[in-house]
C-alpha cells in the first residue's frame, strides 16, 4: 500500500477520534475549552502516540534481547518527558484569571489527570502497534508460505524435467547399442577379408564408445585412457591416408597416475587433423604430451592447409576452454599461435 492512502486513513481516524471526544465532552460536561488548547495539546498527544509505536516499541521488540524490560523503562522516560512538555505548554498558554502554577500547587488533580491522559494515548499506541505487528506477522507468514510453494513447484518441475531427460536418455540408449552391435558384426565380417579394415572398424567402435561414455560422465578419467583413444584416432587416420599421413606423437611421464577431464586432448587432436595439413613429409604434424609431477603440458603443431574443406568457426576451442574453466578454474592455460604457415596449440593444466 502506498503512503498517500495510508496518510489519508490516519487523518480520517484522528478527525473521527477528536470529533468523538469533543462531542462527548460537550454533552457530558456542557463546556468546551479554548481552541488554542486543542490546537496545541492534540498534536502533542498524537506525537506521543506515534513516537511510542514506531520508535520505542519497534526498538524494544525488534532490536533488543529484553523487549519487555526495555519497553517499560523507555515508556516511563517517555511519559516523564510528556508531562514536562505538557506542563511547560500549559504555563505558556495559561489564562491570567486561572494561573496553572497556583492550581498545581493547590491540588494533585492536574498531575493525575495528565498522567492518565498520557497513559491513555500510550495504550492506544500499544493497540495500534499490536495490530501492525499482527499484520506484518501474517504478511511474513504468507510470504514464507508463498516462497515455500514456489520452492516445491520448482522442485517438482526439476523432477519432471529429470524424468523426461532420463526417459529420453534411456530411449537414446537404443541407438548406441544398435550401432555397436552392428559395428561388431561388420568387424567380424570385414576382418575375414582384410585385417586392416577390421582393425579400423574395431578402433572406430572403441572411439565412439569412449566418446559416449565420457560425455555421459562428468567425472575424470585416467590420462592413459585419453591417450589410448588419441592413439586410436591417429591410427585410424594413418590407415586411411597411409603414406600421405605424417604425424609424430611423443609422450613423457607416467600417464596412468593422474586423472583428467575427458575429451579435451582428443578434441584438440581431432581439430588438428580436421583443419591441418598432415600430408607434407617435410613438415609433419606433432603432438607432445609431457607430465611432470602434477603439471600436464600438451601441444599440437600442424602446417596450415592452403584450402580448408571445413570452415574454422573456432567453436571447438571455445567449448574446450569453457569446459576447462568450469572444472579447473584458474589452474589451466590454453594458448593458440596462428603463424603464417603453422597453427600451434599449447595447453597447460595443474592437475
The pLDDT profile of the chain, 351 residues, written as one tens digit per residue, is 566 788 888 888 888 888 888 887 777 766 666 676 778 888 888 898 999 888 888 888 888 888 889 888 998 998 888 888 888 887 777 655 544 444 444 457 777 888 888 888 988 898 888 888 888 888 888 888 888 888 888 877 777 776 666 555 544 444 454 555 555 656 665 666 667 666 766 777 777 777 766 655 557 889 999 999 899 888 888 887 888 889 999 999 888 889 998 888 988 998 888 888 998 889 999 999 999 988 999 999 999 887 765 556 666 788 888 888 888 989 999 999 999 899 999 999 998
User: CA quadruple 171, 173, 176, 181: dihedral positive or negative?
Assistant: negative
Q: Are residues 230 and 142 in the same domain?
A: no
Q: Are residues 46 and 149 in the same domain?
A: yes
For the entire predicted model, the pTM comes to: 0.48
In angstroms, rounded to a whole number, what is the distance separating the alpha carbons of residues 265 and 256? 15
Which of 153, 175, 190 terminates a domain? The answer is 153
Is 163 inside any structural domain?
no
Is 75 inside any structural domain?
yes
Domain that holds residue 75: 33-153
Q: Are residues 111 and 231 in the same domain?
A: no
List the CATH number of the domain containing 288: 3.30.565.10
Report how far apart the first and last C-alpha atoms of the chain are (Å, whole number).
Answer: 57
**How many domains are contained in the chain?**
2
| Partners of 337 in beta bridges | 344
The answer to whether residues 182 and 175 touch, using CB atoms and an 8 Å cutoff, is no
Is 192 inside any structural domain?
no
Q: Are residues 226 and 322 in the same domain?
A: yes
Which of 115, 135, 153 terminates a domain? The answer is 153
Could you tell me the CA-to-CA distances from 140 to 6, 144, 147 in Å, in that order?
A: 20, 6, 10
Is 92 inside any structural domain?
yes
Is 108 inside any structural domain?
yes
Q: CB neighbours of 278 closer than 8 A, spacing ≥ 6?
A: 237, 241, 244, 245, 246, 247, 272, 284, 285, 302, 303
Q: Are residues 148 and 56 in the same domain?
A: yes
Amino acid at each position: 500500500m502506498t503512503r498517500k492512502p495510508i496518510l489519508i486513513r490516519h487523518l480520517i481516524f484522528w478527525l473521527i477520534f477528536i470529533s468523538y471526544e469533543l462531542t462527548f465532552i460537550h454533552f457530558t460536561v456542557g463546556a468546551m475549552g479554548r481552541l488554542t488548547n486543542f490546537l496545541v495539546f492534540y498534536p502533542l498527544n498524537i506525537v506521543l502516540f506515534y513516537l511510542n509505536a514506531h520508535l520505542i516499541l519497534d526498538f524494544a521488540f525488534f532490536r533488543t534481547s529484553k523487549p519487555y524490560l526495555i519497553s517499560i523503562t523507555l515508556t516511563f522516560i517517555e511519559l516523564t518527558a510528556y508531562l514536562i512538555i505538557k506542563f511547560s505548554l500549559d504555563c505558556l498558554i495559561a489564562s491570567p484569571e486561572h494561573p496553572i502554577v497556583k492550581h498545581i500547587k493547590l491540588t494533585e488533580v492536574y498531575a493525575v489527570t495528565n498522567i492518565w491522559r498520557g497513559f491513555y494515548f500510550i495504550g492506544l499506541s500499544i493497540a495500534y502497534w499490536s495490530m501492525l505487528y499482527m499484520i506484518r506477522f501474517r504478511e511474513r507468514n504468507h510470504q514464507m508460505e508463498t516462497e515455500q510453494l514456489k520452492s516445491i513447484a520448482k522442485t517438482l518441475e526439476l523432477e519432471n524435467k529429470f524424468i523426461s531427460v532420463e526417459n529420453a536418455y534411456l530411449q537414446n540408449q537404443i541407438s548406441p547399442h544398435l550401432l555397436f552391435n552392428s559395428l561388431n558384426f561388420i568387424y567380424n565380417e570385414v576382418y575375414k577379408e582384410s585385417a586392416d579394415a577390421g582393425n579400423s572398424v574395431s578402433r572406430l567402435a572403441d572411439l565412439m564408445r569412449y566418446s559416449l561414455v565420457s560425455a555421459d560422465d562428468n567425472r575424470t578419467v585416467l590420462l592413459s585412457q585419453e591417450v589410448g583413444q588419441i592413439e586410436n584416432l591417429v591410427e585410424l587416420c594413418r590407415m586411411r591416408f597411409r603414406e600421405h599421413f605424417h604425424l609424430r606423437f611423443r609422450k613423457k611421464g607416467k600417464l596412468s597416475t593422474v586423472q583428467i577431464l575427458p575429451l579435451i586432448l582428443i578434441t584438440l587432436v581431432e581439430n588438428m587433423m580436421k583443419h591441418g595439413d598432415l600430408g607434407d613429409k617435410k613438415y609433419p604434424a606433432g603432438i607432445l604430451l609431457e607430465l611432470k609431477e602434477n603439471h600436464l603440458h600438451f601441444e599440437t603443431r600442424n602446417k596450415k592447409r592452403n584450402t580448408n574443406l571445413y570452415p574454422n568457426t573456432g567453436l571447438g576451442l571455445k567449448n574446450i576452454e569453457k569446459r576447462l574453466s568450469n572444472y579447473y578454474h584458474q589452474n589451466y592455460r590454453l594458448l593458440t599461435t596462428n603463424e603464417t604457415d603453422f597453427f600451434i596449440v599449447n595447453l597447460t593444466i595443474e592437475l
